[in-house]
Amino acid sequence: MNGRVLIVGQGLAGTALGLELEAAGIDCTIVSDGHATAASRVAAGLINPITGQRFARTWRVEELGPLAQAAYQRWETLLGVRLWHDLRLERRFRDAVERERAARRFAAGELAPFARALTDEALVLDGAARVDLPALLTAAAQRWRSSGRLREARAEAEEFVWPADGGEVRWRGEAFAAVICCTGHGALGRAWFAGSPFAAIKGQILTVRAAGLAADTVRHDGMWLIGERDGQGRVGATFERDREDLDATPAAREQLIAAARRLAGGEVEGGEQAAGVRLALPDRLPAIGWHSRRPGLGFFGALGSKGALWAPWLAQQWREVLLRDAAVPLEVAMTRFAL
Ligand SMILES: Cc1cc2nc3c(=O)[nH]c(=O)nc-3n(C[C@H](O)[C@H](O)[C@H](O)COP(=O)(O)OP(=O)(O)OC[C@H]3O[C@@H](n4cnc5c(N)ncnc54)[C@H](O)[C@@H]3O)c2cc1C
């Protein structure tokens, strides 16, 4: 593909894509209406290799974990901010059934190389990390503001003029060979890709203070408590299906305080509460690829609860599509539901 790319939205997806295209020498412009409603602004950025009540491996984590770490470390150097924090993760058991299931899988070696130890209360995991997504978004916006790539505006559907015959797309007087929609749960992407079976899942988090909370540790039992500095961290996240408001609710605060107490094993003091909306697809995998009927329009999103792990790899897949017309891996292709 020759010509400029317009990335709409600068959450984690738009940021990863912009950095990857820039590094590959593809001319791109980013339009962003800021981060006030971005899920990436409230996400803990947790990468967890073993997830769920069944202690399943996160999809392709062996391959995508190291790839993500290398990408974030390149961006740390480029942007001059710390993004990657290795974590010690304790997966606490909720009941005897979970304990027994974990013990069985641990003994059979099914959780290698991530499971380091098993105690009566928890499975201790290596390979977990926290990515500082707000720091990534802020530093990338600053870079693109300085280089003139960033358009600080909200793009509206009616501003785009789509070519009838494979020519360039026009937006506010500028011409682009491709427009890639990275709007998270925003209305624009939902309208352009209206046939896709998206679900919106609201999540709330709370900053907390707790004695004994150590930096760069996470305790997880379905809810997580992350130590970001000694004595201080965040607890999350609620899982509220089909909710798209960003209200911080008293019920969620209660649930988050209870989880933090349980995980900290003592009193906690609640601080600032925030909400975001995750966009997800029924198979819980993300999606990239071209629109089936509108040439030049692409999608990057539905990152669910795992964007921190998946976004760097997906951005690299998009780079290959744009540079070499590579095929999108079927498991994450936007077209898979139509198929
Ligand atoms: C409470 C909570 C906790 C989470 N915890 C984790 C976690 O621990 N680990 C993990 O990997 N993931 C986590 N997630 C999920 C994570 O947030 C997502 O995977 C990822 O951040 C989504 O990134 P995105 O770029 O697709 O969307 P967003 O971050 O929502 O970004 C979309 C951007 O597009 C902009 N935009 C939208 N429409 C327009 C428009 N018309 N014009 C211009 N700009 C527009 C928005 O303002 C926004 O900045 C969590 C999510 C929530 C809500």
Q: Among 89, 278, 318, which residue has the most ligand 1 atoms within 8 Å of its CB, making it the best to mutate?
A: 278
Length of the chain measured in residues: 339
So what's the pLDDT on residue 339? Answer: 59
pLDDT > 70: percent of the chain: 100
Query: What's the pLDDT tens digit per position in 296-305?
Result: 999 999 999 9
- Is the pLDDT score of 47 beyond 90? yes
DSSP code string of 186-231? -HHHHHHTTTS--EEEEEEEEEEE-TTPPTTEEEESSSEEEEEETT
- Is the pLDDT score of 166 beyond 80? no
Average pLDDT over residues 19-38: 97
User: Which residues sit opposite 209 in a β-bridge?
Assistant: 232, 269
So what's the pLDDT on residue 165? Answer: 78
Fold of 5-45+132-197+283-336: FAD/NAD(P)-binding domain (3.50.50)
Buried b / exposed e along 293-322 (16+ C-beta atoms within 10 A): eeebbbbbbbbbbbbbbbbbbbbbbbbebb
- Is the pLDDT score of 164 beyond 90? no
Residue 168, CA distances (Å) to 67, 158, 185, 216, 254 in order: 33, 16, 26, 47, 52
Distance 303 CA to ligand 1 centre (A): 8
Query: What's the pLDDT tens digit per position in 125-135?
Result: 999 999 999 99
Does the beta carbon of 312 lie inside 6 Å of ligand 1? no
Residue having the nearest C-alpha atom to atom 5 of ligand 1: 43
Query: What's the pLDDT tens digit per position in 177-195?
Result: 999 999 999 999 999 999 8
76-80 CB contacts, 8 Å cutoff, 24+ apart: 78/19, 78/143, 79/136, 79/139, 79/140, 79/143, 80/139
**200: amino acid identity, one letter:** A
- Is the pLDDT score of 309 beyond 70? yes
The total of other beta-carbon atoms located within 10 Å of residue 152's CB is 13
Which residue is associated with the tokens 């098993």?
Answer: 118
307-324 and 61-79 helices, crossing angle to 10°: 80
Does the beta carbon of 99 lie inside 6 Å of ligand 1? no
Query: What's the pLDDT tens digit per position in 228-264?
Result: 988 999 999 999 999 999 999 999 999 999 999 999 9
In angstroms, rounded to a whole number, what is the distance separating the alpha carbons of residues 186 and 184?
Answer: 5
Does the beta carbon of 302 lie inside 6 Å of ligand 1? no
Query: Is the pTM value of this prediction over 0.95?
Result: yes
Distance 98 CA to ligand 1 centre (A): 31
Average pLDDT over residues 199-213: 95
Query: What's the pLDDT tens digit per position in 5-15?
Result: 999 999 999 99
Average pLDDT over residues 322-331: 96
Where in the chain do CATH 3.50.50.60 domains reside? 5-45+132-197+283-336
So what's the pLDDT on residue 337? Answer: 87
- Is the pLDDT score of 281 beyond 90? yes
Distance 37 CA to ligand 1 centre (A): 8
Mean pLDDT in the chain? 95
Distance 307 CA to ligand 1 centre (A): 8
Where in the chain do CATH 3.30.9.10 domains reside? 200-276
- Is the pLDDT score of 43 beyond 70? yes
CATH classification number, 200-276, choose in 3.30.9.10, 3.40.109.10, 1.10.1040.10, 1.20.1260.10: 3.30.9.10
pLDDT > 90: percent of the chain: 93
Does the beta carbon of 238 lie inside 6 Å of ligand 1? no
In angstroms, rounded to a whole number, what is the distance separating the alpha carbons of residues 157 and 186?
Answer: 12
In angstroms, rounded to a whole number, what is the distance separating the alpha carbons of residues 155 and 70?
Answer: 32
In angstroms, rounded to a whole number, what is the distance separating the alpha carbons of residues 198 and 95?
Answer: 33
Query: What's the pLDDT tens digit per position in 74-124?
Result: 999 999 999 999 999 999 999 999 999 999 999 999 999 999 999 999 999
Burial of 82 (0-12, 13-18, 19+ CB in 10 A): exposed
Does the beta carbon of 286 lie inside 6 Å of ligand 1? no
- Is the pLDDT score of 1 beyond 90? no
